Amino acid sequence: FESYITHKRIRTVVKTLQHIKMVMAEKNNRELLWTEKRIAYNNTWPEAGKWYSDVQQMLDEWLKEQGITQIFEPVKLSEGAKDILFPNAKLNKVFSGIVDIYDELPYRPDEGFDIAWRSLEIFMNHHRSIAWPKDNDRATHIMLRTVKELIMPLINKDLRVKEMWERFLSEIPISVLRFAIMRCFIHHDLAITDKAEKVSERAKDILTKELYADIKAKYELEETVKPSADVLRRSSLLLQKILRGEKVTVNNNEYTIDIEKRLLFMLSCVLYTYRCERFHGDYFSPFKSDMATLNTYAFSYYLLTFSYVYLWMLIYQFCEWQNLGEICSLANILAAAGTMQERMRPMIEKK
């Protein structure tokens, strides 16, 4: 009987190893095929035209099923926008960058995010030079001040604004949540310059050291050890609840994070981290890869739309503060945000 059990276990192990070998072989074959695609595109450009593969076709088919041609929706400007932009060189520069975003869509929302974030950084620094000229120019500090002094007053004043940001925080793709866990708790810290502190330190400051420590202990997260798929899924779902503003119990301690901290977490620990990683870290084109899925699009579109709406909220507040007139109505910002959220909703993974 013991011999039978031993042989059964051996057969199980052999089958498992065979399955792993088969999966690895399939993965290698897919990557070889995509390597060949990239070489062929390189060697036939520009005659080959723009890159178009089954990844872009997948998006086209999804868009057709939804009855739309784009996920993105621009904020419509007011009639007097030219009278504000033309005499204000810095604002006009930021707006020229915003218009560049549209050329990257629908297929490269990641490139659109790069442009949106670059425009956001230019504008935040411009605002700092006027409103807080003697203050710290570190990007993470400026983000903190813009949330506290420009976004929160709007949230506290207008329920529509609060509801719009709560939707952003409640409908985060699972891929974004996984990215946040990996970068905040695992050894993917980006200490690139003296202005970019470690992601984990920023997460501790925003979530509180106590909540950070409890999450790390609950899931036994270690900086140098990649978590299992199950641990990553469960920790991501906990982070989802936290960012939705729900009360959570972690290691017998209760926590609720307010909207100001949740917005700052997304800006500082997710969007800014992704920006730094794309500019300075290891980079593999997400849409010229056999790993691309609709979730890959959901990831980049979420970060793009979040940063784009945040930028327009800051511009709106700046024009109000400087008595420049109405470059765009708050209603138009909310309408564009609502349209993009509605279009993205079917794409976001519901897990």
Exposure of 213 in the CB half-sphere (CA atoms within 13 A): 5
Q: Residue 313: helix, strand or coil by DSSP? A: helix
Q: How confident is the model at residue 208 (pLDDT cuts 50, 70, 90)?
A: very high
pLDDT of amino acid 66 = 95
Evaluate whether 244 touches 255 at the Cβ level (below 8 Å).
no
Take residue 148 and report the two structure tokens written for it: 């506290």
Q: For the chain, how far is it from start to end, CA to CA, in angstroms?
A: 43
User: Distance between CA atoms of 257 and 206, rounded to whole angstroms?
Assistant: 9
Mean pLDDT of the chain: 89
User: Distance between CA atoms of 133 and 332, rounded to whole angstroms?
Assistant: 31
Consecutive H or E run containing 344: helix 330-344
> How many Cβ atoms from other residues are within 10 Å of residue 77's Cβ?
17
**pLDDT tens profile 271-287:** 999 998 887 766 778 88
pLDDT of amino acid 136 = 79
Residue 129 vs residues 126, 137, 143: alpha-carbon distances, Å: 5, 9, 14
**pLDDT tens profile 136-184:** 778 889 999 999 999 999 999 999 999 999 999 999 999 999 999 998 9
pTM listed for this prediction: 0.88
Indicate the residue type of 150: L
As a whole number, mean pLDDT of residues 237-253 equals 97
Evaluate whether 337 touches 309 at the Cβ level (below 8 Å).
yes
User: Distance between CA atoms of 253 and 339, rounded to whole angstroms?
Assistant: 38
User: Distance between CA atoms of 42 and 40, rounded to whole angstroms?
Assistant: 5
User: Distance between CA atoms of 298 and 210, rounded to whole angstroms?
Assistant: 31
**pLDDT tens profile 312-323:** 999 999 999 999
Consecutive H or E run containing 204: helix 199-207
Q: Residue 196: helix, strand or coil by DSSP? A: coil
Work out the angle between the directed axes of helices 174-185 and 199-207 (0-180°, nearest 10).
Answer: 110
Work out the angle between the directed axes of helices 139-146 and 272-280 (0-180°, nearest 10).
Answer: 150
% of the chain residues with pLDDT over 90: 68
Span of 11-20, 122-131, 247-256, 321-330 with lowest mean pLDDT: 11-20
**pLDDT tens profile 58-80:** 999 999 999 999 999 999 999 99
17 vs 215, higher pLDDT: 215
Take residue 189 and report the two structure tokens written for it: 């810290």
Exposure of 306 in the CB half-sphere (CA atoms within 13 A): 28
